[in-house]
Amino acid sequence: MREEAVSVNEVFERYDVGSEVFVRGWIHRIFKVGGKIFAWLRDSSGIVQVVFDKGVLNNVDWESIERLSRESSIGVKGVIREDPRAPGGREILASNVVIYGYAPPFPIRGGEDIEYLLDIRHLWLRSRQMTAILKIRHTILQALKEWLVRNGWWEVTPPILTGSAVEGGSTLFEVKYFDKPAYLSQSAQLYLEVLIYSLDKVWSLTPSFRAEKSRTRRHLSEYWHLEIEGAWYDMEDVMKVAEDMVSYAVRKTLEERRKELEFLGRDVKKLEPALQTPYPRITYDEAIEILRRKGFKIEWGEDYGADEEKALTEEFDRPFFVTHFPKKIKAFYMKEDPNRPEVVLGFDLLAPEGYGEIIGGSQREDSYEKLYNRIIQEGLNPKDYEWYLDLRRYGTVPHSGFGLGTERLTMWVAGLEHIRDAIPFPRWRGRIYP
């Protein structure tokens, strides 16, 4: 039987009761009532009830229908009927059936713990929760890319294997590259900086790798990093890009993924303030004051972590910026504030409700001498950065950029407890399955 298939969603949205349709998918639930078998058929667009009635079936025997179980894959031809007891109020009365694959008892029945579900991630990804999250993630990624392209930013494709580390450090994955070591990229920034000299405004979406030592709810060892870099942009200009992009992504998600957000139990009211820009801005100094008032013992000049970020987010109902960090806790390439050399023109964007940092960015040091000195002060080898220094030697320009963790953004928008669910195949210390 070869038929033009329609999606489950179309059974509700496009066809009238009484139409004959052919739908394909997987059995989500199956049960017997009276002499009939009822199945909930799932495809990417939704769930529809199918009724198997011995007297109506044409091309298969009853025994093949009785052997169907959860996750069997089938195609069903039949007439759409109204039924208030069925999900969505409609069902399909099966007249012809194609059985693509039977399934032994499915190893997920509900109530399993997360470690178990990670062990069978390849099957758990069929769940309605994960499907809803993946759709939200899709919409967020589309919105971010759409915003950039519409606003004249060029997409570029930096390498993932790199000869040197951007910021150096302990979280670098080393790989064997022929007979020499190479590293998995932690950030495309330096490559993007090269490309602004021909394209002005560039962006890339790539995996970034960080061998984070501790397992936290917001760190992966491989994540999808959206980075932008703009010539002639100062810190304030690029912060405006950040808030416009994020608010656009939230708006799109609220418009297009409301069903999925509601399925996940996300309180969408809490996302609405994020539609309003500009986002609030506080300096690092003000952040330290807030934290001390809240009882944290923290000195000016210290870096802060997840607990402190969480406390800061209690002060805001929308994303907000923290700016002007002490130079000594930030990367060597951040531009020093001309009015206050002990701080840099760097910023983070923190998401509310305890989520914390989703973007980190800065204006970049554009003076050859200052950058060279910073490289020396940080104990890095200027030889490794010769090409990077060249960018300041040949026609330097003021420029700025940032990196956005797409799973961090997804996690907040979807209201997830853990970053692992914002990506289909999460990797972190000790886990690389499947």
Q: Which residues bind ligand ATP (CB under 6 A)?
A: 210, 212, 219-220, 223, 225, 357-360, 403-405, 407-408
With CA atoms as reference, report the closest residue to 90 among 6, 211, 2.
Answer: 6
Q: State how far the Cα of 362 lies from the Cα of 348, in Å rounded to an integer.
A: 9
360 binding Mg ion? (CB under 5 A): yes
Q: State how far the Cα of 377 lies from the Cα of 332, in Å rounded to an integer.
A: 9
Kindly tell me which of 210 and 392 has the beta carbon lying closer to Mg ion: 210
Least Å from the CB of residue 393 to ligand ATP: 26
* Residue 110 phi, psi (nearest 5): 110, 140
Judged by DSSP in three states, 198 sits in helix
Kindly tell me which of 10 and 167 has the beta carbon lying closer to Mg ion: 167
Kindly tell me which of 91 and 421 has the beta carbon lying closer to ligand ATP: 421
Structure tokens that stand for 346 in this block = 């760097």
With CA atoms as reference, report the closest residue to 171 among 207, 220, 210, 202.
Answer: 210
Q: Total residues at the site for Mg ion (CB under 5 A)? A: 1
| DSSP label of 354 | T
With CA atoms as reference, report the closest residue to 68 among 109, 113, 105, 117.
Answer: 105
- Residue 20 binds what, of Mg ion, ligand ATP, none (CB under 5 to 8 Å, by partner type)? none
Least Å from the CB of residue 136 to ligand ATP: 17
- 72: Cα separation from own chain's centroid: 30
Least Å from the CB of residue 357 to ligand ATP: 4
Q: Is the peptide bond before 104 cis (omega within 30 degrees of 0)?
A: no
Subset of 334-353 contacting Mg ion (CB under 5 A): none
Q: State how far the Cα of 391 lies from the Cα of 335, in Å rounded to an integer.
A: 15
Kindly tell me which of 78 and 360 has the beta carbon lying closer to Mg ion: 360
Least Å from the CB of residue 214 to ligand ATP: 10
* Residue 272 phi, psi (nearest 5): -60, -40
- Residue 405 binds what, of Mg ion, ligand ATP, none (CB under 5 to 8 Å, by partner type)? ligand ATP
Cβ neighbours for 224, distance < 8 A, ≥ 6 positions apart:
141, 205, 206, 207, 208, 405, 406, 407, 423
Kindly tell me which of 43 and 193 has the beta carbon lying closer to ligand ATP: 193
- Residue 210 binds what, of Mg ion, ligand ATP, none (CB under 5 to 8 Å, by partner type)? ligand ATP
Least Å from the CB of residue 186 to Mg ion: 11
361 binding Mg ion? (CB under 5 A): no
- Residue 358 binds what, of Mg ion, ligand ATP, none (CB under 5 to 8 Å, by partner type)? ligand ATP
Least Å from the CB of residue 219 to ligand ATP: 4
Q: State how far the Cα of 86 lies from the Cα of 72, in Å rounded to an integer.
A: 20
**Residues binding Mg ion (CB under 5 A):** 360
